[in-house]
């Protein structure tokens, strides 16, 4: 396909037919995830890092912990900032340039999952209230795109944050003094995103790039380890019924612990 | 005056293949009395020339190639088709419709953006843009099936000597397969299991295209896949 | 007393290397499924990945050249690749390195084979530790070959410089920042032509010459790693029959000439 963002009619028809019969083009069942591999801590200059392979989707998550001024309305809280980069190596369709709406949506959806779950103890990140706090940057770097970036980045973010460390500052005479000590960030919750797309009336989990290309709608639901929903995002042009939403949430709730287990295993 | 490698050695661009005078075959070039490789591949010292069988490479369009492509744009009197070459290909109305031109002709009724076609390259214009035609047996808009992509340089291996490999696959799986020289393979089977077998075989051929004894190994692989189905 | 004497003559670098020793280097080709060609390189703590697309239709079309392909290079660093975190927006240094990469690689590519097309080389630095432009060129050359783009030769790059008063090969980040000079060099090893030459710092003309020679020595070693990376993708190729355990191998051995002829004809385009 060239840079024209065109959906192939042949592909759309074939994928719809195959999904209708209860399978996917790569032989998976409708609810099956592709092979998920997670490594963490492989970048030495980042305070935290993770690499995720979900099928052929490949992302790297880097966590940098810096310092800066807090927001005015939350003077004694540290800051969490997420950013996504759709690098041009990830797909022949992607051109270099400033973030487009898809990469912004990706960053914001994963960000909301982390933020609503209150994954970080933001008070712990405060150094001098009102003047200096830790800022945790989480950057999603997409190296190869084959669908379901949200779930891959959500898993990667959790893996990277769980092993991330911050440098300790002591306060002497109201001034911050950098020490040699490094301590892990307190990770209070373990949010995991689960995404599904609707194709011809059927719902499938962990969509590939082709499946995302022909989808009618997508729903992402993020769960914490207690099974609470902490984020939802629906996109796509078709609507969903209440019954469909209910079924999605229930099936997704069973998937989140499986993904979480892989994340936790990678951080040992 | 000598060959510096042996036939079927893997060479990379810049490797000196021959010192002295010899005819330069595919994927080689001559410089200051030596012949060098231009692509990574298997060197072949033929009776009269030195060439390299490339292991990687994009599609190089040649007249009379059959290709599979997708309509990406419509301009006045022509469709723009993506065939994975270094430029998009053109399909003009007279090469798509076998009727005299009428002023109320609607192009999208014949081919719309997003349609897939099997076409033949009938010309390369001055700017080396491939000019296509969909008139002729086996050519035209594709209405069912799906496409698998492989490296174009591996297509000859998929076809085999006088069609030996592809004919064996068709016989063993019962699928219809159309092969584009541009590395795109259209597959259509009666069952999903048959189609999945063809996909597995095509990918295996792609990864082992540079080895010998492949036809027999693929035949054995197909028999194993059919066994597993039972 | 003798111990003190030993200490004096035993000069080593911050990471214990000899003056002419490269950092550990590893290259892998064909690592990105969606790219036409790709490579990943680790040189010391540098971790860089490169994807190549093309030759393909040039966008925007008006920038295409009528007689040759346009080679476009983009060097870009991940925000987490350096300390402190940097903005993802391209910097002026990024743009200069992109340009220098292009001229280092251009002479090796047969651009005239693909008029009006573009060949896009994208480099992403995941972790930086000095010498990223050389590492990027090394990865880019492998990725271009992996994409099957016809080339006259490979391109190899390495830097030499001066640190603590001595000439050293392959400067790490610390040596680059604290040293007296840095001389990155790229060259085409079989054609023996230098395609990148930069320098910054202060060196006498003789030292400059020696640095370039030292860098070229480093290049020759890296060239072997590039070759291995390209060949490794296809396994051990010379005698594929030896690897097979299938029963019909016995039948094949009985008729070797027929099989060899069939294979050769299969391989011909």
pLDDT per residue as tens digits for the range C141-162: 999 999 999 999 999 999 999 9
Among partner residues B12, B26, B86, which is closest to C114 by beta-carbon distance? B86
Question: What pLDDT, on a 0 to 100 scale, did the predictor assign at position A2?
Answer: 37
Phi first, then psi, for residue B84 (nearest 5°) are 75, 20
pLDDT band for position C134 (50/70/90)? very high
Contact B73 A25 (CB under 8 A): no
Question: What pLDDT, on a 0 to 100 scale, did the predictor assign at position B1?
Answer: 66
Contact A10 B147 (CB under 8 A): yes
Nearest to A219 by CA among A228, A209, A199: A199
Question: What pLDDT, on a 0 to 100 scale, did the predictor assign at position A268?
Answer: 87
**SS3 assignment for B202-223:** HHHHHHHCCCCCHHHHHHHHHH
Residues 97-156 of B with CB under 8 A from A: 112-116, 142-147
Residue of chain A whose Cα is closest to the Cα of C82 = A45
Q: Neighbours of C (≥3 Cβ pairs closer than 8 A)?
A: A, B
| Token pair belonging to C79 | 């925000």
Contact C124 A89 (CB under 8 A): yes
Nearest to B85 by CA among B57, B64, B104, B106: B57
Residues 170-209 of B with CB under 8 A from C: none
Q: Neighbours of B (≥3 Cβ pairs closer than 8 A)?
A: A, C
Question: What pLDDT, on a 0 to 100 scale, did the predictor assign at position B211?
Answer: 84
pLDDT band for position C264 (50/70/90)? very low
Question: What pLDDT, on a 0 to 100 scale, did the predictor assign at position C237?
Answer: 41
CATH superfamily of B66-142: Nucleic acid-binding proteins (2.40.50.140)
Please give the average per-residue pLDDT across A210-227, as a whole number: 96
User: What distances in angstroms separate CA C212 from CA B156, C100, C181, C199, C216, one per listed residue?
Assistant: 46, 17, 12, 10, 6
Q: Is the pLDDT of residue C269 over 70?
A: no
Every domain of chain A and the residues it spans: 9-266
Q: Which residues of A touch C (CB under 8 A)?
A: 2-3, 43-46, 49, 56, 58, 60, 62-64, 66, 83, 85, 87-92, 95-96, 98, 137, 139, 141, 143-146
Residue of chain B whose Cα is closest to the Cα of A22 = B192
pTM of the model: 0.92
Contact A10 B142 (CB under 8 A): yes
Question: What pLDDT, on a 0 to 100 scale, did the predictor assign at position A4?
Answer: 56
Question: What pLDDT, on a 0 to 100 scale, did the predictor assign at position C246?
Answer: 33
- Distance between A18 CA and the closest CA of chain C, angstroms: 24
Quote the CA–CA distance of A69 and A89 in Å, as a whole number: 35
Give the strand pairing for B89-92 and B41-45.
Answer: unpaired
pLDDT band for position C85 (50/70/90)? very high
Quote the CA–CA distance of C88 and B177 in Å, as a whole number: 46
Contact B113 A6 (CB under 8 A): yes
Question: What pLDDT, on a 0 to 100 scale, did the predictor assign at position C247?
Answer: 33
Question: What pLDDT, on a 0 to 100 scale, did the predictor assign at position C140?
Answer: 98
Contact C78 A3 (CB under 8 A): no
Question: What pLDDT, on a 0 to 100 scale, did the predictor assign at position B98?
Answer: 86
Question: Which of B114, B148, B194 is the best mutation test for A, with the most CBs of A within 10 A?
Answer: B114
Whether residue B156 lies within 8 A of chain C, CB to CB, comes out as yes
pLDDT band for position C9 (50/70/90)? low
Contact B210 C234 (CB under 8 A): yes
Torsion of CA A58, A59, A60, A65, to 10 degrees: -170
> Is the domain B146-229 a CATH 3.30.1370.10 member?
yes
Q: Is A36 helix (H, G, I), strand (E, B) or coil?
A: strand
Contact B114 A21 (CB under 8 A): no
Question: What pLDDT, on a 0 to 100 scale, did the predictor assign at position C87?
Answer: 96
Among partner residues B114, B192, B196, which is closest to A6 by beta-carbon distance? B114
User: Among all chains, which residue has been given the structure tokens 């893996």?
Assistant: A159
Q: Is C125 helix (H, G, I), strand (E, B) or coil?
A: strand
Contact A66 C47 (CB under 8 A): no
Domain with CATH 2.40.50.140 in chain B: 66-142
Strand segments (E) across chain C: 25-29, 37-43, 46-57, 70-77, 117-127, 156-163, 166-169, 181-188, 193-197, 200-201
Quote the CA–CA distance of C158 and C20 in Å, as a whole number: 12
pLDDT band for position C200 (50/70/90)? very high
Q: Which residues contact B53 (CB under 8 A, 6 or more apart)?
A: B26, B27, B41, B42, B44, B153, B210, C267, C268, C269
Q: What percent of chain C has pLDDT over 90?
A: 80
Q: Is the pLDDT of residue A63 over 60?
A: yes
Phi first, then psi, for residue C59 (nearest 5°) are -125, 125
Cβ neighbours of C260 in B, within 8 Å: 212
Question: What pLDDT, on a 0 to 100 scale, did the predictor assign at position A219?
Answer: 98
Where would I find the H helices in chain B?
107-110, 155-159, 164-173, 192-208, 214-229
Among partner residues A8, A21, A25, which is closest to B70 by beta-carbon distance? A8
Quote the CA–CA distance of A38 and A25 in Å, as a whole number: 24
Residue of chain C whose Cα is closest to the Cα of B164 = C266
Contact C151 B213 (CB under 8 A): no
Quote the CA–CA distance of B62 and B50 in Å, as a whole number: 22
Contact B86 C269 (CB under 8 A): no
| Token pair belonging to B181 | 């020289």
CB atoms within 10 A of CB C86: 16
Cβ neighbours of A89 in C, within 8 Å: 32, 34-35, 38, 49-51, 122, 124
Quote the CA–CA distance of B30 and C168 in Å, as a whole number: 37
Domain with CATH 2.40.50.100 in chain B: 2-54
Please give the average per-residue pLDDT across C206-217, as a whole number: 97
Whether residue B73 lies within 8 A of chain A, CB to CB, comes out as yes
Residue of chain A whose Cα is closest to the Cα of C72 = A96
Domains, chain C, ordered by start: 14-234 (3.30.230.70)
Question: Which of B41, B56, B149 is the best mutation test for C, with the most CBs of C within 10 A?
Answer: B56
Q: Is the pLDDT of residue C175 over 80?
A: yes
Residues linked to residue B44 through DSSP beta bridges, in sequence order? B51
Please give the average per-residue pLDDT across C230-243, as a whole number: 60
Cβ–Cβ < 8 Å for B156, C264? no
- Distance between B193 CA and the closest CA of chain A, angstroms: 9
Residues 164-193 of B with CB under 8 A from A: 192
| Token pair belonging to A166 | 């911050």
Please give the average per-residue pLDDT across C228-232, as a whole number: 95
Cβ neighbours of B145 in A, within 8 Å: 10, 14
Question: What pLDDT, on a 0 to 100 scale, did the predictor assign at position A93?
Answer: 93
Q: Neighbours of A (≥3 Cβ pairs closer than 8 A)?
A: B, C
Please give the average per-residue pLDDT across A216-222, as a whole number: 97
Cβ neighbours of A7 in B, within 8 Å: 114
Cβ neighbours of C68 in B, within 8 Å: none
CATH of A9-266, one of 2.30.40.10, 3.30.230.70, 3.40.50.300, 3.30.70.1150: 3.30.230.70
End-to-end C-alpha distance for chain B, whole angstroms: 59
Cβ–Cβ < 8 Å for C109, C73? no
Domain with CATH 3.30.1370.10 in chain B: 146-229
Cβ neighbours of A214 in B, within 8 Å: none
Worst-scoring range by mean pLDDT, A142-146, A241-245, B214-218, C94-98?
A: B214-218
Half-sphere exposure of B191 (CA within 13 A, CB side): 6
Average pLDDT of the residues of chain A? 95
Tens-of-pLDDT digits for all 230 residues of chain B?
688 999 999 999 999 999 998 999 999 999 989 999 999 999 999 998 999 999 998 899 999 999 999 999 999 899 999 999 999 999 999 999 988 777 667 889 999 999 999 999 999 998 889 999 999 999 999 999 999 999 998 999 999 989 999 999 999 999 999 999 999 999 999 999 999 999 999 999 998 888 888 989 999 999 999 888 76
Q: Is the pLDDT of residue C266 over 60?
A: no
Contact B156 C267 (CB under 8 A): yes
pLDDT tens column, A92-104:
999 999 999 999 9
**SS3 assignment for C6-62:** HHHHCCCCCCCCCCCCCCCEEEEECCCCCCCEEEEEEECCEEEEEEEEEEEECCCHH
Q: Is the pLDDT of residue A241 over 50?
A: yes
Question: What pLDDT, on a 0 to 100 scale, did the predictor assign at position B212?
Answer: 82
Cβ neighbours of C35 in A, within 8 Å: 89, 92
- Distance between C63 CA and the closest CA of chain A, angstroms: 15
Please give the average per-residue pLDDT across A104-119, as a whole number: 97
Where would I find the H helices in C107-156?
132-146
Q: Is the pLDDT of residue C32 over 70?
A: yes
Class at the top of the CATH hierarchy for domain B2-54: mainly beta
Contact C190 B14 (CB under 8 A): yes
Question: What pLDDT, on a 0 to 100 scale, did the predictor assign at position C257?
Answer: 34
Contact C120 A88 (CB under 8 A): yes
Quote the CA–CA distance of B20 and A154 in Å, as a whole number: 60
């Amino acid at each position: 396909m060239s840079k024209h963002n065109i959906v192939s009619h042949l592909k759309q028809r074939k994928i719809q037919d195959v999904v209708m019969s209860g399978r996917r083009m790569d032989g998976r069942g409708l609810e099956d995830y592709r092979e998920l591999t997670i490594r963490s801590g492989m970048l030495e200059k980042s305070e935290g890092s993770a690499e995720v392979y979900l099928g052929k989707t490949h992302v790297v998550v880097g966590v940098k912990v810096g310092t800066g001024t807090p927001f005015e309305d939350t003077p004694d809280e540290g800051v969490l900032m997420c950013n996504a980069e759709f690098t041009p190596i990830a797909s022949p369709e992607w051109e270099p340039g400033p973030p487009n709406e898809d990469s912004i949506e990706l960053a914001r959806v994963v960000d909301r999952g982390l933020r609503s779950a209150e994954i970080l103890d933001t008070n712990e990140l405060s150094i001098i209230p009102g003047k200096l706090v830790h800022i945790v940057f989480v950057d999603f770097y997409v190296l190869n795109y084959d669908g379901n970036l949200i779930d891959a980045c959500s898993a990667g973010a959790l893996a990277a944050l769980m092993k991330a460390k911050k440098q300790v500052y002591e306060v002497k005479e109201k001034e911050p003094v950098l020490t040699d000590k490094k301590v892990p960030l307190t990770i209070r919750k373990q949010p995991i995103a689960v995404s599904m797309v609707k194709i011809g009336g059927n719902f499938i989990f962990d969509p590939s790039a082709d499946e995302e290309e022909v989808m009618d709608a997508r729903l992402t639901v993020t769960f914490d380890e207690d099974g609470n929903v902490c984020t939802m995002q629906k996109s796509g042009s078709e609507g969903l019924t209440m019954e469909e939403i209910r079924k999605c949430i229930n099936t997704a709730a069973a998937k989140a612990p499986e993904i979480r287990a892989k994340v936790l295993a990678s951080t040992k | 005056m000598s060959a510096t490698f042996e036939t079927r050695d893997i060479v990379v661009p810049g490797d000196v293949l021959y010192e002295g005078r010899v005819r330069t075959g595919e994927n080689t070039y001559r410089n200051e009395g030596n012949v060098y490789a231009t692509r990574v591949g298997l060197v072949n010292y033929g009776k009269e020339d030195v060439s390299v069988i490339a292991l990687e490479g994009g599609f190089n369009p040649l007249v009379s190639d059959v290709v599979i492509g997708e309509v990406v744009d419509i301009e006045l009197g022509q469709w723009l088709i993506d065939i994975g070459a270094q430029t998009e290909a053109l399909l003009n109305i007279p090469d798509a419709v076998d009727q005299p031109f009428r002023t109320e002709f609607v192009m999208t009724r014949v081919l719309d953006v997003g349609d897939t076609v099997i076409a033949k390259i009938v010309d390369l214009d001055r700017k080396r843009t491939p000019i296509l035609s969909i008139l002729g047996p086996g050519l035209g808009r594709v209405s069912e099936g799906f496409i698998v992509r492989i490296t174009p340089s591996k297509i000859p291996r998929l076809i085999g000597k006088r069609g030996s490999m592809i004919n064996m696959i068709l016989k063993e799986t019962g699928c219809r397969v159309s092969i584009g020289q541009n590395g795109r393979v259209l597959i259509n089977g009666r069952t999903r299991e048959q189609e999945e077998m063809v996909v597995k075989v095509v990918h295996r051929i792609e990864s082992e295209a540079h080895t010998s004894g492949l036809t027999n190994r693929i035949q054995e692989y197909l028999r194993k896949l059919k066994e597993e189905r039972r | 007393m003798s111990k003190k004497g030993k200490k004096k003559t035993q000069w080593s670098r911050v990471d214990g290397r000899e003056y002419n020793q490269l950092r550990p280097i590893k290259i892998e080709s064909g690592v990105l499924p969606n790219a036409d060609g790709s490579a990943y390189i680790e040189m010391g703590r540098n971790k860089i990945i490169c994807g190549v697309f093309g030759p393909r239709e040039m966008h925007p079309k008006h920038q295409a050249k009528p007689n040759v392909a346009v080679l476009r290079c983009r060097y870009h660093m991940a925000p987490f690749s350096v300390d402190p975190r940097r903005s993802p927006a391209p910097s002026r240094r990024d743009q200069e390195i992109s340009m220098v990469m292009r001229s280092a690689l251009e002479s090796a590519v047969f651009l005239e084979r693909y008029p009006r097309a573009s060949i896009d080389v994208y480099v992403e630095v995941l972790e930086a530790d000095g010498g990223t432009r050389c590492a990027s060129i090394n990865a880019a050359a492998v990725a271009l070959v992996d994409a099957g783009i016809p080339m006259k030769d490979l391109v190899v790059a390495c830097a030499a410089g001066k640190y603590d008063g001595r000439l050293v090969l392959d400067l790490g980040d610390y040596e680059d920042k604290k040293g007296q000079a840095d001389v990155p060099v790229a060259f085409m090893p079989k054609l023996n032509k230098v395609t990148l030459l930069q320098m910054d710092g202060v060196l006498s003309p003789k030292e400059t010459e020696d640095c370039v020679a030292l860098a070229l020595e480093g290049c020759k070693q890296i060239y072997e790693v590039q070759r291995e990376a390209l060949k490794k993708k296809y396994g051990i190729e010379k005698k594929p029959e030896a690897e097979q355990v299938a029963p019909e191998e016995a039948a094949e051995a009985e008729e070797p000439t027929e099989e060899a002829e069939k294979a050769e004809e299969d391989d011909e385009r």
